Amino acid sequence: MIRLDKALSSMGIGSRNDVKNMLRDNRVKVNGEIIRNPATKIAEDADITIDDMPFVYEKFTYLMMNKPKGVISATEGYEPTVIDLVDMPVKGLFPCGRLDKDTTGLLLLTNDGQLAHRLLSPKHHVDKEYEVVVAKAVTEEDIAKIKAGIHDGEDQFMPAEYKKLTETSGRIILHEGKFHEIKRIFLALGNEVVSLKRIRMKNLVLDESLAEGMYRSLTEEEIKELQDLL
């Protein structure tokens, strides 16, 4: 059970005060009955309408974003953040993991701390796949080193997979997520990353119909798969 005003305001309908006004104006029905008291406890699967339009309460929000360049993977800062791109005022939304400011592609935004914690935990070795373009040709020797696990003088990186697309581009799959990992792997090989785009995280594949800067809710199936796979 959850308080009606909390359920509505957590879904971005407005502040608790806005919700109070909506209730006072007889705009909200729960299971067909007008409710005016914001403290009314309702079941999480109650049938809610606002102005007779169905309203689906969901405990958590899960958004897939195609992150553009130039925004940081944080909730606040001096620079524009991925959260600034979301025009649904969902409470407590944060990026699950980090992409560099100049990296594009798949970023999960959620307010489900438990799922994020499990996805980011080093214990789980969640696969992350990227398309990478580098300055110089990647040799077979480079690929063998990536597969064996590179040491960049500071950190030992876990073995990763690399699939060549062209001489200077490929797909790399990491099983961990160290700071600037791909850039550091290529620097250790005497190369340099020119562009980087994440295309997959575990089962979650970037929806290519999302333009950079756009996002959509995960489907029930995507959420379930993410939860089941951990």
Instruction: Return the amino acid letter for 216.
Output: R
Structure tokens given for 106:
């798949």
How far is the C-alpha of 167 from the C-alpha of 119, rounded, in Å?
A: 32
87-116 binders of ligand URA (CB under 6 A): 99-100, 103
Smallest gap, in angstroms, from Cβ of residue 192 to ligand URA?
A: 11
Q: Is 100 a catalytic residue?
A: yes
CB of 193 to ligand URA, least distance (A): 6
Could you tell me if 181 and 157 are in contact, meaning their C-beta atoms sit under 8 angstroms apart? yes
Catalytic residue of the set 45, 51, 84, 100? 100
From the list 36-44, 78-86, 137-145, 180-188, the region that binds ligand URA by CB under 6 A is 180-188
Q: Binding residue for ligand URA (CB under 6 A) from 5, 129, 142, 181?
A: 181
Query: Nearest Cα to 63, choosing from 95, 108, 119, 120?
Result: 108
- Per CB under 6 A, which region of 49-57, 106-114, 154-162, 179-187 contacts ligand URA? 179-187
Q: According to the binding rule CB under 6 A, does residue 175 interact with ligand URA? A: no
**Pair of tokens at residue 82:** 């991925």
Which of residues 19, 65, 96, 183 is near ligand URA by CB under 6 A? 183
d(CA 165, CA 141): 16
Residue 67 binds ligand URA, judged by CB under 6 A: no
CB-CB contact of 73 with 67 (8 Å):
yes
**Binding region for ligand URA (CB under 6 A) out of 114-122, 161-169, 176-184, 220-228:** 176-184
* Half-sphere CA count of 207, side-chain side, radius 13 A: 15
Asked if 132 is part of the footprint of ligand URA (rule: CB under 6 A), the reply reads no
Q: Enter the tokens of residue 210.
A: 């999302």
One symbol per residue from 19 to 58: x for binding ligand URA (CB under 6 A), - otherwise; what is it?
Answer: ----------------------------------------
196 vs 226, beta carbon nearer ligand URA: 196
The sign one gets for the Cα dihedral 76, 81, 82, 83 is positive
**What helix, strand, coil percent values describe the chain, rounded to 5?**
25, 30, 45
Q: Active-site residue numbers?
A: 100
Question: Could you list the residues that contact ligand URA (CB under 6 A)?
Answer: 99-100, 103, 180-183, 196
